[in-house]
Amino acid sequence: MATSRRNPSSEPGTSAPPPRSGEGDTGGSSGAAAGPAGGRPAAGRAGSRGGPPRLPPVRLAPREELAAAARVAPLLRAARLVASWAAADQRPGTGEGLTPAVAAAAMIELELTPAELDVAWRVAAGTGMVAVPGQRAAPGPRVDVLASGDAGDVLTMWEDALRVMLHADDLDGMATALYTVGAPVKMDALFEAYVAAAGSRDRPGRPRSGGEDLAAGLSAALETLADLAVVELGTDDTAGGLTVTLSRLGIWGMHRQLGAQGWHVPVLGSGARDGAAALLTTLASCDAEDGEAEIAAWLAARVPARAARELIDAARRGTPGLRGAGFAVLDRIGEQAVPAVRAALDDPMLRAHAAVWLHEHGEEAELGPGERAWLLVDLGAGLLEEADPRDVVVELLPDLPPKAQADMVAGLWEVEHPAVTDLLTALSEHHPDPAVARAARKAAFKARSPSPGPRWTRS
């Protein structure tokens, strides 16, 4: 798929630099992926300019498969066992736990450790497996859901159990981080993050936990999540270390949790039902294969003219990254998108993108030097939304010699674009050629300084 991230320093119609993820090849899963920002970003990969991070798209397993995994989750089975045992003789307790004597008997008869009994009782009470009217255990309305409930009932109860555990044991951050990564995480990296999070929760005057205590806390937390079938433990053959990742059931549960909190949680396979902005947001984090499937499904659900209009509208209202990705998807529509793209020439925000797109599709459109400079800044700003600045400076002007790059960068301060200072700062700090970095530094100073002189604008 051709990319809209053309080289604005060349004449219209010349070849473009290689595409970046979320635009040309729709790829990018673990590196400095770049693409549109849209929806409401939440936890996930953070942009290089300090913007809020974004959750990656996920693929959800069928409900019957998820319910089958929930039915055999050790923690739910233990909770049902404790609930049935306590309710059979109306043993004394509260929603917080059984009385000490009864708890001691439960540990012996049910062969549970104190920690296992504690968490099982909390889940039993929190999911409605057991009730404690008058501080006496009684069967709850959900005591038999695991054995005889349908898939929806089982998943609802499992989701309640997940909510209980995330709240009670302060595991929400860990589960969200695993959802964000979307891949196995090495245990040592997880431990470092866990230590940092624990340290941030320390209050003045409160003694810090030692490393051994934190390691034990992490181990217990992972055991709890594994017993609820939220995570899976494995090994990294290359590094020879332990890893942890969300299970398919865990992905579903955290998707529900984060969605209920208001985060944008894209799902692979649902793009055909969503608008263009949601599609482009999803593409930002897709690998190539998933991205191709999302684009094909989205386009198949719309006639070409409508699809082109939706993409143009999303580009008009979106960020620089979304604008670039929108024009990249328009390449898939081809000549049937020409009327919509030509109409975009009248929009100052889209004119430069539209002119380059039309030239690359055999159409005529004017594009002046000032507009090419504005486009360069806009495309650079789109890259900075996601990519590491060091990658941006290498990728932005790959076909120009250093002298030509320095000359072009020196004049960018005149471009009227909200991201021009950020782009010039990135170039000044990370460009490998000293002359280009120096030109960017001087231009950034001019861009920050009030000036009565003319500046290049979109119009």
Q: Which long-range contacts (CB under 8 A, 24 or more apart) does 79-82 make?
A: 79/120, 79/121, 79/123, 79/124, 79/127, 79/129, 79/161, 80/124, 80/129, 80/143, 80/146, 80/147, 81/110, 81/120, 82/106, 82/110, 82/112, 82/117, 82/120, 82/121, 82/124, 82/130
Across the chain, mean pLDDT equals 81
Residue 145 has pLDDT above 70, yes or no: yes
CA dist 356 → 155, 237, 328, 379 (Å): 50, 47, 11, 12
Residue 376 has pLDDT above 50, yes or no: yes
Closest to 419 in 3D by CA, of 53, 54, 49 = 49
> Please, which residues have CB within 8 angstroms of residue 164's CB and are 6 or more apart in sequence?
122, 123, 126, 127
Least confident of 8-17, 131-140, 206-215, 337-346: 8-17
DSSP assignment, residue 134? G
* Residue of 393 and 158 predicted with greater confidence: 158
Residue 168 has pLDDT above 90, yes or no: no
Residue 302 burial (CB < 10 Å; 0-12/13-18/19+)?
middle
Read off the pLDDT band of 201 (50, 70, 90).
low
Strands 241-246 and 130-131: unpaired
Structure tokens at 62: 């069928």
Is the separation of the CB atoms in 80 and 146 below 8 Å? yes
d(CA 94, CA 190): 35
Helix or strand holding residue 241 (H, E): strand 241-246
Read off the pLDDT band of 194 (50, 70, 90).
confident
Read off the pLDDT band of 28 (50, 70, 90).
very low
Q: What is the pLDDT of residues 237-284, one digit of tens each?
A: 765 678 999 999 999 999 999 999 888 888 887 767 778 988 888 887
Read off the pLDDT band of 167 (50, 70, 90).
confident
Q: Which CATH class is domain 177-260?
A: mainly alpha
At 361 the three-state DSSP class reads: coil
Helix or strand holding residue 397 (H, E): none
Identify the pLDDT of residue 26.
33
Question: In DSSP terms, which residues pair with 29 in a beta bridge?
Answer: none
Question: In DSSP terms, which residues pair with 234 in a beta bridge?
Answer: 243
Least confident of 234-248, 294-308, 412-426: 234-248
Closest to 87 in 3D by CA, of 143, 158, 138 = 138
Identify the pLDDT of residue 198.
60
d(CA 318, CA 45): 19
Identify the pLDDT of residue 239.
57
Identify the pLDDT of residue 149.
93
Identify the pLDDT of residue 171.
83
Identify the pLDDT of residue 29.
30
Read off the pLDDT band of 37 (50, 70, 90).
very low
Identify the pLDDT of residue 271.
65
Cβ count near 31 (within 10 Å): 11
